[in-house]
Amino acid sequence: MSWLPRRCQMCASKLAELRVLDKAMQGRWDQDREAAHQDETFVKEWLVVIRAMHPLGFFNSMEVHLERLSASAASASDGAACGI
């Protein structure tokens, strides 16, 4: 049997809490992908949750997709601000 690192009680609790949030956000995404896709606040909030899981040893593959959505939304709003 190989050695596996363990999380302290506080980190394990925090990760469990973040995974519940992540799962709820994934459920919203699955339920109405088009609306969630266009909701900048939702995308940014989900990114915050996903990034908070990194130091706890958890990776979510949606991060790359959400980063692209956030970046494209930011560039679109920059263009709208200058009248493009």
**Residue 7 DSSP code:** -
Closest CA to 70 of 29, 35, 41: 41
Domain locations in the chain as residue ranges: 9-81
pTM for the full predicted model: 0.78
Closest CA to 29 of 37, 40, 41, 20: 37
pLDDT (mean) for 72-81: 65
**23-74, pLDDT tens digit by residue?**
999 999 999 999 998 999 999 999 999 999 999 888 888 999 999 988 887 7
6 φ, ψ (degrees, to nearest 5): -115, 150
The span from the CA of 32 to the CA of 53, in Å, is 24
The residue among 40 and 80 whose pLDDT is bigger is 40
Decide if 4 contacts 12 (C-beta within 8 A).
no
